[in-house]
Amino acid sequence: MLLETQDLSKKFRRNGHEFFPVKDINLSVKEGQLVSISGSSGCGKSTLLNLITGMLTPDYGAVYFNKENVFEMTADRHAEYLNQNIAYIMQGDGLLHNLTLSENIALIHWLHNRENVSPEKIIKLAQSVGIEHVLDSYPAQLSGGEAKRGAIVRALVNHPQLVIADEPTSNLDTGNAEKIVKILKNLSRDGTAVIVSTHDQRFSEIVDAEYILGDC
């Protein structure tokens, strides 16, 4: 098993009252699986993703990646876990607007590996999602769909074992949303595990497993 959570729970306080947006979550993800997390807005989907990455610490429960407890990792090991094993695609594209799309992709590779990525590799990845023609464009010059596909290419440049995508089709028209769904499904078919947080019913038709968070 690539990733497992055991009774994962996180507590917050709002208006003087404690509540659990994530409570006793047990999920598992194998290599090559596409898994969705759904539920109403504000009910813990993004919190759960941040717990899986270790960017949030749970009140109780555990996350295991390749049988290693994420919350027992040293700081250096956790940085390696995030940098080399997981790619996190945020709700926005997260691209740096003073860099071209190609430079955005190259920067992530350099930050993780301290070496330059070959232009050929960037072009090949961009071709796989149909955006090789906009690599020299700045984010402000991209459509929403192009920017999202650019964020996916940037996520893939380090060959992660697990891709996490938070609402990857939000604010996209039908055509671009369908392209993103297809890209993520193909990614899982090629052996990369994918977790998506989504309201998009298109994912329900193709995922290997679906976790639905309860109402707030």
Residue 181, both tokens: 């769904």
- pLDDT over 90 (residue 61): yes
- pLDDT over 80 (residue 42): no
- Contact predicate 178/132, CB 8 Å: no
Mean pLDDT of 14-37: 92
Q: What is the pLDDT of residues 190-199, one digit of tens each?
A: 999 999 999 8
| 3-class secondary-structure state, position 200 | coil
Enter the pTM of the model: 0.91
